[in-house]
């Protein structure tokens, strides 16, 4: 479903449920992580793109106290109050919104009450395309509009991440919210999660991405995501004891320093760190290659990234490995798991003129191995926005 249709449907559902036009409508996209896996919470860089799939969030004021939230897809309405940090019982999805409203309320010192809300999304759930971040960011933009106020965009990303940490239980980095907010039409975002600066990295116009979703159940909240993060922090602490300069995150350790010291730190933590330090290096190389038009070499980095996920970070799974192998055989320029891993989807980078043929070949090769993936062509898209009065 394209963005305009989605917005139209969300507004229609809002009017049908609450009997009035929304006063505030916002849209926020999901994202693909192109290169830089689990580097965000290690203060590293990432290349990502906001995508043409996302969430639309509508709000109108009500005389009733509290918040009512309609999820159009599931046809259910949750009710909650934003004055406490209790989770919404029975409606897991409502917590992303409650968390955002709760932290925005705390940040502004202003009440958030008496609102009727509706959301609808086009991102396949569990595909690792940051459906939850898109929902959080869309909710944040819509509520700020109805409150007639603004918050610095980076702060919005942080508030949404706090919602994810405390209401959904995933200690994620800032990548998903940051990409959803700072997305660029036709471009990749090169973000640095130490300085929180983002810049554009433009791929040639004939390059695009396929999302290959083998439909494996994926939820970071019950995956080893938090455990991986702890192991990275453990590696950074141990390397800090060995190196002559300050190390506050794995970003501070060069590949050479790591190789010279890895045998002296916990072997399990070293494997995880090898992935992160390799990824940081690959993003830096990748940015140079994009700048120099070396797209083939850049594609190879995507394959290397996936291999490191398999060997070092152990966040791939057999289905994603089949997809990445199929993509290589089908002639994709590069392919890798995208996002947290432990399920979700993979991306394949292709020439636009070959996208259809490569996609069909990937499907055929996967079918031969017992997997029927869904293939979605993705367009790098602009970041979150409020929709002007219609």
Can residue 40 be called a binding residue for ligand GLA (CB under 6 A)? yes
Looking at residue 42, the DSSP 8-state letter turns out to be: G
Beta bridge partners of 31: 50
Enumerate residues 308-327 that contact ligand GLA by CB under 6 A. none
Question: Do the bridges between strand 374-378 and strand 385-386 make them parallel or antiparallel, or are there none, so unpaired?
Answer: unpaired
Can residue 208 be called a binding residue for ligand GLA (CB under 6 A)? no
Catalytic option among 176, 266, 321, 325? 176
Q: Which is nearer to ligand GLA, 35 or 330 (CB)?
A: 35
Provide the minimum distance between the beta carbon of 176 and ligand GLA in the complex, in angstroms, as a whole number.
Answer: 5
Enumerate residues 328-347 that contact ligand GLA by CB under 6 A. 339-340
Can residue 249 be called a binding residue for ligand GLA (CB under 6 A)? no
- C-alpha 192/C-alpha 198 separation (Å) is 6
| Segment lying near ligand GLA (by CB under 6 A), choices 77-85, 100-108, 167-175, 211-219 | 167-175
Q: Which is nearer to ligand GLA, 82 or 131 (CB)?
A: 131
Can residue 116 be called a binding residue for ligand GLA (CB under 6 A)? no
Provide the minimum distance between the beta carbon of 362 and ligand GLA in the complex, in angstroms, as a whole number.
Answer: 23
Enumerate residues 126-165 that contact ligand GLA by CB under 6 A. 130
Buried b (16+ CB within 10 A) or exposed e, 30-44: bbbbbbbbbbbbbbb
Q: Which is nearer to ligand GLA, 60 or 130 (CB)?
A: 130
Distances (CA, A) of 380 to 137, 251, 377: 17, 27, 10
Provide the minimum distance between the beta carbon of 113 and ligand GLA in the complex, in angstroms, as a whole number.
Answer: 30
Tell me, yes or no, if 192 is annotated catalytic: no
Q: Which is nearer to ligand GLA, 78 or 172 (CB)?
A: 172
Provide the minimum distance between the beta carbon of 197 and ligand GLA in the complex, in angstroms, as a whole number.
Answer: 17
Question: Do the bridges between strand 188-192 and strand 197-201 make them parallel or antiparallel, or are there none, so unpaired?
Answer: antiparallel
Q: Which is nearer to ligand GLA, 41 or 103 (CB)?
A: 41
Q: Tell me which of 172, 181, 235, 287 binds ligand GLA, using CB under 6 A.
A: 172
Provide the minimum distance between the beta carbon of 58 and ligand GLA in the complex, in angstroms, as a whole number.
Answer: 25
SS3 content of the chain, % helix, strand, coil (to 5): 45, 20, 35
Looking at residue 201, the DSSP 8-state letter turns out to be: E
Can residue 173 be called a binding residue for ligand GLA (CB under 6 A)? yes
Q: By rule CB under 6 A, what count of residues binds ligand GLA?
A: 12
Two tokens at 273?
């760190």
Q: Where are the beta strands (DSSP E) in the chain?
A: 24-35, 45-61, 67-71, 76-80, 115-121, 188-192, 197-201, 207-213, 334-337, 346-351, 374-378, 385-386
Contact 190, 287 (CB under 8 A): yes
**Residue position matching structure tokens 């702890």:** 230
Task: Write out the H or E segment, with its range, that includes residue 376.
Answer: strand 374-378
Q: Tell me which of 53, 168, 175, 302 binds ligand GLA, using CB under 6 A.
A: 175
CA Rg value for the chain = 21
Q: Length of the chain, please?
A: 390
Provide the minimum distance between the beta carbon of 219 and ligand GLA in the complex, in angstroms, as a whole number.
Answer: 11
Looking at residue 368, the DSSP 8-state letter turns out to be: T
| Segment lying near ligand GLA (by CB under 6 A), choices 76-84, 173-181, 318-326, 372-380 | 173-181
Q: Which x/- pattern, by CB under 6 A, does the window 8-37 give for ligand GLA?
A: -------------------------x---x
If one counts every other C-beta atom within 10 angstroms of the C-beta of residue 227, the result is 11
Q: Which is nearer to ligand GLA, 47 or 203 (CB)?
A: 47
Contact set with ligand GLA (CB under 6 A) = 33, 37-38, 40-41, 130, 172-173, 175-176, 339-340
* Active centre residues (catalytic): 176
């Amino acid at each position: 479903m394209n963005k305009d249709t989605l917005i139209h449907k969300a507004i229609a559902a809002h009017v049908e449920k609450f009997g009035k036009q929304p006063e505030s409508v916002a849209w926020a996209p999901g994202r693909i992580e192109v290169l830089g896996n689990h580097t965000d919470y290690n203060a590293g860089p990432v290349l990502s793109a906001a995508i043409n799939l996302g969430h639309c969030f509508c709000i109108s004021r009500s005389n009733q106290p509290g918040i009512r939230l309609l999820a159009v897809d599931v046809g259910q309405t949750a009710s909650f109050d934003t004055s406490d940090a209790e989770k919404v019982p029975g409606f897991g999805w409502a917590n992303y919104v409650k968390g955002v409203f709760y932290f925005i309320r705390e940040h502004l010192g202003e009440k958030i009450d008496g609102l009727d809300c509706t959301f609808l999304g086009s991102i396949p759930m569990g595909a690792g395309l940051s459906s939850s971040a898109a929902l959080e960011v869309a909710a944040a933009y819509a509520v700020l509009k109805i409150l007639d106020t603004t918050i610095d965009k980076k702060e919005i990303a942080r508030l949404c991440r706090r919602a994810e940490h405390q209401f959904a239980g995933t200690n994620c980095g800032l990548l998903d919210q940051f990409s959803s907010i700072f997305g660029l039409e036709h471009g990749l975002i090169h973000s640095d999660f130490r300085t929180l600066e983002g810049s554009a990295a433009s791929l040639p116009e004939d390059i695009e991405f396929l999302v290959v979703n083998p439909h494996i159940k994926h939820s970071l909240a019950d995956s080893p995501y938090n455990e991986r993060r702890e192991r990275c922090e453990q590696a950074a602490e141990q390397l800090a004891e060995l190196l002559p300069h300050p190390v506050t995150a794995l970003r501070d350790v060069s590949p050479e320093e790591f190789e010279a010291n890895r045998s002296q730190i916990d072997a399990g933590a070293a494997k995880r760190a090898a992935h992160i330090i390799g990824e940081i290096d690959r993003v830096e190389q990748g940015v140079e290659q994009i700048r120099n038009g070396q797209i083939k070499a850049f594609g190879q980095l995507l394959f290397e990234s996936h291999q490191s996920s398999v060997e070092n970070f152990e966040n791939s799974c057999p289905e994603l490995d089949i997809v990445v192998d199929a993509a290589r055989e089908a002639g994709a320029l590069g392919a890798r798991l995208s996002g947290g891993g432990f399920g979700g989807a993979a991306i394949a980078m292709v020439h636009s003129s070959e996208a259809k043929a490569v996609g069909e070949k990937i499907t055929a090769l996967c079918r031969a191995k017992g997997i029927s993936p869904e293939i979605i062509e993705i367009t790098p898209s602009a970041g979150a926005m409020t929709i002007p009065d219609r």
